[in-house]
Structure 1
Amino acid sequence: MCGAPSRLVDHKTPHRGDKRLFWSRSNWQALCTPCHSSRKQREERRC
């Protein structure tokens, strides 16, 4: 999201316990910790 070095793998579509979606590499994206902990989590709360 911001271009900083990635430290985490995030799920583009929240898996909500679906193991197939959880392990689907096409659903993964690399994010830095601040983006994952703030922006992405805020987006998921809206859904």
Structure 2
Amino acid sequence: MCVRCLQQGRYVPATVVDHIIPHRGNLALMWDESNWQALCKPCHDKKTWTEDKNPVYTY
């Protein structure tokens, strides 16, 4: 189930594995399973669009 939809009391199947903290090429974050969450495509697209619009880079 999509974790964001569940927070709103809706039961929507998850179709995407999302990175909670965007990895932006950081392989440790990319493969860290504790950084993964299940989302439906609409929630993933909205989250990604917001993050891409306001990127935070940590080098």
TM exceeds 0.5?
A: yes
Question: Within the alignment, does 1:11 sit opposite 2:14 as a pair?
Answer: no
Superposed structure 1 runs of 4+ greater than 6 Å apart: none
Instruction: In structure 2, give the amino acid aligned to 1:13.
Output: I
Match of 2:38, SS? strand
Unaligned segments of structure 1, at least 5 residues: none
Q: Pairwise CA RMSD of aligned residues?
A: 1.2
Q: Computing the radius of gyration over CA atoms, which structure comes out larger, 1 or 2?
A: 2
How high is the sequence identity, in percent, across the aligned residues? Answer: 50
TM-score, with normalisation over the residues of structure 1? 0.83
**Matched length:** 46
Specify every segment of 5 or more residues in structure 2 that has no aligned partner in the other structure, as ranges: 7-11
Question: What is the Cα deviation at residue 7 of structure 1?
Answer: 0.3
Q: Distance in 2 between matches of 1:46 and 1:13?
A: 13
